Chain A
């Protein structure tokens, strides 16, 4: 036993040493274009992020099948930042400095993005960030393909205020205590007050990450709603906590016709983990739903299901964001004729993609997309019925006009601004 153990250990040590040496070697330049995939495959965020990793692998596979990019094959470099925020920064550095990837597709939580942001700015990398987020940011090294608050939260609230939405008068803003819900609720509060909602008709509630016992809060919501005015819940509850929340909601007999719940982080993938028969009618606001009917979307769904070899797998909004982001990046690379970051960035502005949502998504000079806003009601089969959508694509605000400090700021990376958070352009016009 001892001898055997010894041998194994010795092998292990040798292996580890060899590995350390191997890691220190600079990667050899190859005839491929590398893209980094920086999504957690383990830890708490793996639930959501694994799917996005697979989405990028599918897109890479697709582009290679069509002959690659600039005559080269595209190679995905997958790493696992393990839902550990400092590790995100370390892995980002590894992808950019060691693997020399042309672009990185990754991150889900705001804190992971904040953690890698200095790395991308220092090493001049490109990050495509596919998740709806709080805005208040525009980095020249990040393209934000998810929704900003004005592309999700405000239209949803406007819908609920309308006659079709049930003329809601009283609001519960329930969220997980972190920056996205805080920002969204701050914007919504300002918006609601501007619309004449009284402060006593707004209840704000924050819960910790992974909150699992929702009895008290659901009871509170019921109590708040029993005051006689039509009440709705605006939920910015994050990932993991949603399943117990919705289960509690369903069992507490809260029907969508009584107290509708509109969520910004619950899509098809999250619903696949919940029995939705008792949640019919609750809402979600996104820029894409799987139930959208058009040829691009059917192709997208088919491509995904055959890639993942599971005809039941669903598509969702962040996946569509990655689809748009990856397509745009390949187009920009072709246009620039190179994967060099500065050239690609310039080529990104104005880039258009026919998105599965049925609209044309366009990249703006504030590094955010123009996308449509859709509001869906949950069906019994875990899909959404689209009950309202914008006429056209809405341009994302990097800086919210509803927050006093940020309303002054402008994000525009084209001449003469060339800035993500400025109150005046960087360059003065030469004519004057």
Chain B
């Protein structure tokens, strides 16, 4: 601990960041399609999506791995951030929707809405949407966390009420009357900051932005973890009552981590939406939130690099297996989870550490 990163750590971080942020675009642009070095177009948004998931996994790892708060509703913060960005992208469509209304999105025209509801105001501005993508999840986490941590709701009780939270939001966003497009959600985006979302350059730009955000998130998490607060969080995870008796404010420490984590999840969601082209209520489903916990566990809970690796590995495996073994992939994925828990209690990072320790 102490220093933010060891010199070797810095090099590794900058190196891998550069490889991702520069190497991927180059591999996509320079080599001729068909050459072994060429990165096909369809891989770019896919990798961008993994980067967003990695941020999400980091955010959960911060609260679960370091503060012992297993949130089974982190998908909610991710989705809220996504909806904020989605609302902006919807407003950008302008009169290009199928019904050609200058302001209202298609689904509102369709539901006979006459004017934009108040909570859609301001989302035509990118800065406002970007701000909201952080503020809305943060504010929800603040309100929810304040009451939950103050009442000392811990352990599995907390996990279940976070699940109730995301489930309630899922049902709420399903309702067409809410004004968020119901089950279909928000889709058919045209452009972002003036660039068409389907253009290759925009895709690469979004990918680089995601990688940059991932790097920044990693550093922020590292900063928190390495600070005194980080040690308090660890202590809370291991013996909450003792920390409280020692005079630390457990509620505030947890609250800080929780709000920071939710904000990060919101950013991940905001970056995710333009790359996959749709945001809809299924992102709120409890199963999605459970999966985030699984990425972290597979990678190695309580290590930041583990969260990133876990998100990449599980999602990569999912992408690959649903294509090559559509009828069997659930067996493979399920078995992976069982094997990791049984044989790799510290995830794949733990495995790497063990390998390293064995080297002379």
Contacts and interface: CB of A to CB of B under 8 A. Distances in A.
Interface of A: 1-2, 4-6, 8-10, 12-13, 16, 19-20, 22-26, 41-42, 78-82, 84-87, 89-91, 93-94, 96-98, 109-111, 114-115, 117-119, 122, 136-137, 177-179, 182-183, 186, 206, 208-209, 403, 405-406, 409, 421
Given A5-B343, A118-B277, A178-B183, A20 B110 contact: no
B185 interface: yes
Contacts of B45: 90, 93
30 contacts: A5-B343, A6-B354, A19-B316, A20-B320, A24-B39, A24-B40, A26-B38, A80-B322, A85-B282, A87-B322, A93-B42, A97-B40, A111-B183, A114-B188, A115-B187, A115-B278, A118-B198, A122-B198, A177-B174, A177-B176, A177-B182, A177-B183, A178-B176, A179-B176, A183-B110, A186-B110, A209-B174, A209-B183, A405-B109, A421-B98
A178 B280 contact: no
Interface stretch (B59-67, B147-155, B218-226, B325-333): B325-333
Given A41-B326, A97-B40, A84 B282 contact: yes
A253 B17 CA distance: 66
A84 B322 CA distance: 11
A80 B99 contact: no
A1 B354 CA distance: 15
Contacts of B313: 16
Interface string B171-198: 1001110000011110111000000001
B20 interface: no
Looking at chain B's contact residues, the main secondary structure is helix
Contacts of B316: 16, 19-20
Contacts of B41: 97
B213 interface: no
A256 to B, nearest CB: 30
Contact of A26 (B34, B174, B189, B351): B34
Name the residue among A25, A26, A90, A403 with the largest chain B CB count within 10 angstroms. Answer: A90
Contacts of A97: 40-42
A45 to B, nearest CB: 11
Contacts of A25: 36
Contacts of A177: 174-176, 182-183
A20 B316 CA distance: 7
A110 B323 contact: no
A59 B289 CA distance: 39
B33 A26 contact: yes
Contact of A119 (B39, B175, B277): B277
B344 interface: yes
Contacts of A96: 42
Nearest to A404: B112
A6 B351 contact: yes
Contacts of B276: 86, 89-90
B343 A8 contact: yes
Nearest to B27: A24
A80 B110 contact: no
Given A12-B336, A97-B41, A98-B42, A19 B183 contact: no
Contact of B326 (A80, A183, A208, A405): A80
B280 A111 contact: yes
Chain B interface extent, by class = 35 or more
B19 interface: no
B187 A118 contact: yes
B348 interface: yes
Interface string B270-292: 00000011101010000000000
Contacts of A94: 42, 319, 323
Contacts of A10: 351
B322 A8 contact: no
Contacts of B342: 5
B278 A179 contact: no
Contact of A405 (B110, B188, B344, B351): B110
B182 A85 contact: no
Question: Which of A8, A12, A82, A117 has the largest count of B CB atoms less than 10 A from its CB?
Answer: A12
B199 to A, nearest CB: 9
Contact of A114 (B49, B184, B320, B330): B184
Given A26-B38, A97-B41, A97-B42, A9 B171 contact: no
Contacts of A22: 320
Q: Among B99, B109, B317, B330, which residue has the most Cβ atoms of chain A within 10 A? A: B99
Nearest to B33: A26
Contacts of B185: 85, 111
Given A111-B280, A114-B188, A177-B175, A82 B320 contact: no
Interface string B258-273: 0000000000000000
B195 to A, nearest CB: 14
B13 interface: no
Closest 6 CB pairs of A and B: A5-B343, A80-B326, A178-B183, A97-B42, A86-B276, A80-B322
B46 interface: yes
Interface in B326-357: 326-327, 329-330, 336, 339-340, 342-344, 348, 351, 354
A1 to B, nearest CB: 8
Contacts of B184: 110-111, 114, 178-179
A118 B320 contact: no
B327 A80 contact: yes
A186 B182 CA distance: 15
Interface centre among A110, A179, A421 (most CB of B within 10 A): A179
A19 B198 CA distance: 27
B319 A42 contact: no
A114 B280 CA distance: 11
B278 A79 contact: no
Contacts of A9: 339-340, 343-344, 348, 351
A347 B39 CA distance: 34
A82 B322 contact: yes
B53 to A, nearest CB: 11
A114 B182 CA distance: 13
B322 A91 contact: yes
B74 to A, nearest CB: 17
A89 B277 contact: yes
A197 B124 CA distance: 42
Nearest to B351: A9
Nearest to A53: B326
Nearest to B327: A41
